[in-house]
Structure 1
Amino acid sequence: MALDHAPRPRRTARRFHVMSAAVVTGILVTGLLAAPASAHAEHGAGTRHFTGPAIGTVARTAGDARFEPGPCPQTPEPIEALAQARCGTLTVPENRARPGGRQITLGVAVVPAATANPKPDPIVWLAGGPGDDAVGEAKMAVDGGLNRDRDVILMSQRGTYSADPVLTCRNIDEFNARAVGLVHGAPSTERLHVEATRTCRDQLVGRGADLSAYNDTESAADYADLRVALGIDRWNVFGISYGTHLALIYMRQHPQGIRSVGIDGILPPSTAGSALTWSSARQGFDGLFKACAEDPACNRRYPNLPATFERLVRELEARPVTTTVTVPGHPEPVKVVLDGGALVNWMTSATHVAEGVPRSLDELAHGKPQRIAEQWAGGKLSPQAFGRVAHGLAYGVFCSEWVPYESRAEAIRGGREAFPSFPRSVLAQAPQLTFLRPDCAVWNVPAAPPSIRDVTRSDIPTLALSGGFDSQTGAASGPYVARTLSRATVVTVPYEPHVVFATSRCAQEITVSFFDNPDAPKTGCLAGLKPPRFEIGPSSS
């Protein structure tokens, strides 16, 4: 899900040589260019020529929505994949329940297929978060081969940085950076955390935002309008992390025109919440620990890793460790406090660099917290951690669709079932969702209708992808959603973290083959996958 938006460390080169060149840096985004079924493409001198209008070249309307061609959305860094894109904006009502109300605009980029004769049904990419901007994920889509023979369409979800209005709040990002030097779950930290949330809300409301309109129902309608406004008869959907949550609601509320759906890093709307994040953490941690136990060198050097981790959580929660580290781009030393909650949250992201986790935990157990502290602080203080996330959209989803339908007792029970040895103070704050209930009390948006929590029942062909090391949206969610998707293919890619499309060449091949043949994707590459080569550090004894 990409509830944890902090950039994640780069994988080591020896593992990455069989993976995508993409680096997992939080939640992901992408783009594409498609032509309607009536258009015919001819190739000549490196230029695509169309006998009919190409997507993104003419203004079109769809009900109250309107697409206007225009410049490509600005991204924090230049993205080469957008160089040939056709772009524009989709204008939609901010709140469809209030006719005649404010209009908002969403950035659109259509990345052309690599082939001269693209297939008529493009792929639309749904970003993670909530709050990540799809246009910024164009490189991931292209690096993974999604535009091999189909255009890829990327639209910024409402509130994200290439939309208007922008519902980012830098003050929250700045607080998250400062919080690495605070006790993670302390009441004093909670007060500061909630105050940052309140300040963000006040700023956005002061600019005229209707915070109740930033949710999955409105976003799903945005995508339904986009398809019609671009003149596309049928398209395919690919969602990652939180984008799977939106995809499952979109295909339930607006199934028209959807040929197939790929979901990677699955977050079911019917179970989303704190208990699910605890369950997912357990699944991802266990996958990594099992791989170490089955590796003779790792098991010999780091035996009983699960017990070591859980002991460290208890000990740090009772007696937090304070250290200072050097973070790239910050000349001054950074103070880091590691308590039990901080360790759990670090571990949730650290499955992206699984090779080093056993060594990092062992060093911490022997009084050397620097490796973990550097990663924990480095993600929060990275330039990519500031101004990228639309907190207005994130809280709109969390506070209208999740918190109203999960009690505090249910959340803690989910944590206790997953990690019975953890102290209650750790279980009180689910991984990636720290202080969510008091935040939502401040955010103060109405609950979504109970139907938002319905399971998605559909016969649209669906690829349900998960990673064996995914500690953010556990692999068990694949079989769960497939129970009510009659044409689902469930694939778990072993040894991979959250969002396997970003890290696994095999997952990319499976995904591209799925869109070619949604009822029979090619999964043969799974048989050749090998576990990571764990780092073996010098003995601490």
Structure 2
Amino acid sequence: MRSWIILILVVLLCACSSTSSNEVIDGILEVPENRKNPNSRTLKLVYKVLKAKKGDSLKAPIVFLQGGPGGPTVIHAEFWENHPLRNDRDIVLMDQRGTGTSEANCIEMGEAMFSIMRQDLDNEGEIKAMDSIFSICKYAMKQEGVDLAGYTSKENAADFEDLRKALGYEQWNLLGVSYGTRLGLTIIRDFPNSVRSIVTTGIFAPETNGINYNIENFERSLFTVLERCENDEDCNRRYPNLKEQLLKAIKKLESSPLHCNYKGKPFVINTQEAALIIYLHLYDRRSIGNIPLLIEAFENGETEYLLYAIKALESLSNYINWPMHHSVLAYEELPFYDELALVESIKRSEIAFNLTMDSELGIKLLNNWHSYRASEIENQAVVSKIPTLMVSGGLDHVTPVSNATEALAHLENGYEVIFPDEGHNLFNPCFFQIVEDFFNDPLDKPDLECSFISNPIEWNLEGLSQKKN
């Protein structure tokens, strides 16, 4: 699995306003790059406020906290434009520092990284190529006076507090996804009086060790998916012995990588690309339903479906801002990972993906990025009485249910929701209904009945005719 992906590792009312319904406010927030440095540069962060459609609504707004770390936010304004949550609440979006339109650094890195994916490099060759890209970026950032010490969740949280004050909201509700859950928990830790309630999905809490158990989480989710296909009569008939076929296909790719043409240039799918493609398929229930077809494509060397999978790799490469991504992980995850636990986790892995060397090289890549390391507080659970709703997918391979269970032990007014048949991305009508009810009355236990309804995976049994789904 790619070295850089295996670590990957959202009461009171707003101030009265004369703005009309459906109005959109665009703005720029100026903040220090590093609040610990009195001579810090100033960053300009781009935000957008989608005012509540009900112009006279006095309900506290919702601020959406994007994942990644390094994912853009404002670009998704269209998703929220006509969302039911906007009917009577402002929706606040801001590109986090170093992402999207908020002073993002080295935006060309994604394409350079994708060019490395195209090649059939071993782990050593890949890490050298990746390290070269990051070194070039770091040099360019240094020339521009960028302070890498400023790209942390704590600084990120302070940005949103400054935004709240600038917009005149007395309190607001947080909605965080994936890394946005860590950001949200950091906000309620550092600025508890500013938050009315918080909803998180795909929990990545400060105490969550994202490195040690990444491989186990991935493998557990994948094998659960394969077992579900085996237990489904139609899926098992169409794709028998899936686990055996997967292991066989991966073994074959070690000696005979698949060669294809993507956008007019060669692309080689070896064991590393195969692992990453499978990893990306586990994010969403729709792509989960294509995993049997994916394994069949690996086994038979059929590249037609795999071209769609390669497109997802390219999209990911260009979506995330990698300097911000690596800065957060190097600062907040690297100081607290357990090398022995990681080695033991790899030993327990049943899939031969050359993960031992890959993981070690991934650690080296983070170590080389910068030397700033967080204090112990960034590894401690957040203790809070703020009403909190934590939502998890039962098939989540990135942030398993256990992450939420552990975090909730320290949240006095916390509630847990589990969607057994969902992955990491679980936005669905039931989820949003529960979220809306919770925001309306966060001190009441929400009605979770719709989350109990079984929603089995819809397996792709027709092959390439459904490949785009």
> Do Structure 1 and Structure 2 share a fold, with TM-score over 0.5?
yes
The answer on 1:350 being equivalent to 2:281 is: yes
Counterpart of 1:411 in structure 2: which amino acid?
L
CA-based RMSD of the aligned residues comes to 2.7
1:132 corresponding residue in structure 2:
71
Q: Partner letter of residue 106 of structure 2?
A: T
Contact 2:34/2:147 (<8 A) preserved: yes
Task: Give 1:261 deviation, angstroms.
Answer: 0.7
Match in the other structure for 1:506: 430
Write out per-residue CA displacement over residues 317-369 of structure 1, whole angstroms, 9 at most, x where no aligned residue: x424122144xxx2x15322221x3222211111231121112212322x224
Correspondence for 1:118 among 46, 57, 63: 57
Mapped to 1, the partners of 2:100 and 2:366 lie a distance apart of 22
1:477-516 matches, cutoff 5 A? 477-501=403-427, 504-516=428-440
Shift of 1:372: 5.7
Output the amino acid matched with 1:495: D
* AA of the residue aligned to 1:505: P
Superposed, 1:120-519 pairs within 5 Å as 120-142=59-81, 144-163=83-102, 165-170=103-108, 172-183=109-120, 185-316=122-253, 318-326=254-262, 330=263, 332-339=264-271, 341-351=272-282, 352=284, 353-365=287-299, 367-371=300-304, 373-382=306-315, 385-386=317-318, 388-417=319-348, 419=349, 421-423=350-352, 425-430=354-359, 435-501=361-427, 504-518=428-442, 519=444
* Amino acid paired to 2:136: T
Find the aligned partners of 1:277 and 1:337 in 2 and give their Cα distance. 22
Instruction: Give the Cα–Cα distance (whole angstroms) in 2 for the partners of residues 263 and 279 of structure 1.
Output: 23
- Report the more deviating stretch, 120-129 or 520-529: 520-529
Cα-to-partner distance string for 1:475-519 (whole Å, 9 max, x where unaligned) = 322212112112211112232222212xx2221222222211223
Residue 86 of structure 1 pairs with residue 25 of structure 2? yes
Q: What is the rounded CA distance, in whole Å, between the counterparts of 1:492 and 1:363 in structure 2?
A: 32
One-letter amino acid of the structure 2 residue matched with residue 242 of structure 1: Y
- Whether the aligned pair in 1 keeps the contact of 2:395 and 2:421 (CA below 8 Å) is yes
What is the match of residue 467 of structure 2? none
Bigger mean CA deviation after superposition, 150-159 or 83-92: 83-92
**Which string of whole-angstrom CA distances, capped at 9 and with x for unpartnered residues, describes residues 372-416 of structure 1?**
63234212334x743x43222112101111112214433232333
Shift in Å at residue 125 of structure 1? 0.8
Cα 1:414–1:245 change in 2 (3 A) is: farther
In structure 2, what residue type is equivalent to 1:349?
Answer: L
Q: Decide which structure has greater helix share.
A: 2
Residue aligned with 2:173, SS: strand
1 CA distance for matches of 2:158 and 2:403? 25
Aligned length: 454
Pair 496,296 (structure 1): closer, same or farther in 2 beyond 3 Å: same
> Judging changes above 3 Å, is the alpha-carbon distance between structure 1 residues 508 and 435 closer, same or farther for their aligned structure 2 residues?
farther
Mapped to 1, the partners of 2:75 and 2:209 lie a distance apart of 25
Decide whether aligned partners of structure 1 residues 533 and 120 sit closer, same or farther in structure 2, where only a CA change above 3 A counts. Answer: closer
Q: State the percentage of identical aligned residues.
A: 24
- Output the TM-score relative to the length of structure 2: 0.89
How many angstroms does 1:305 deviate by?
2.4
Verify: 1:533 aligned to 2:458, yes or no. Answer: yes
- Helix, strand or coil at the partner of 2:68: coil
Question: What is the aligned partner in structure 2 of residue 67 from structure 1?
Answer: none
Shift in CA distance, 107/411, structure 1 to aligned 2, threshold 3 Å: same
SS in 2 for 1:131: coil
1:88-103 aligned within 5 A: 88-103=27-42
CA contact (8 A) 2:277 2:313 kept: no
Is contact 1:126–1:246 with CA below 8 Å preserved after alignment?
Answer: yes
Q: CA deviation at 1:263?
A: 0.7
For residues 333 and 395 of structure 1, the distance between their equivalents in structure 2, rounded to whole angstroms, comes to: 28
For structure 1, which runs of at least 5 residues remain unmatched after alignment? 6-25, 29-34, 49-82
Deviations 1:101-122 (A, max 9, x none): 2211111111111223323311
Partners of 1:118 and 1:529 lie apart in 2 by: 36
CA contact (8 A) 1:110 1:152 kept: yes
Are residues 95 and 534 of structure 1, via their aligned partners in 2, closer, same or farther at CA, if it must alter by over 3 Å?
Answer: same
The residue type equivalent to 2:445 in the other structure is A
Secondary structure in 1 matching 2:76:
helix
Deviation at residue 226 of structure 1 after TM alignment: 1.7
| Alpha carbons of structure 1 residues 27 and 149: separation in structure 2 relative to 1, 3 Å | farther
* TM-score of the superposed pair, with normalisation by structure 1: 0.77
Aligned with 2:16 (options 35, 39, 44): 39
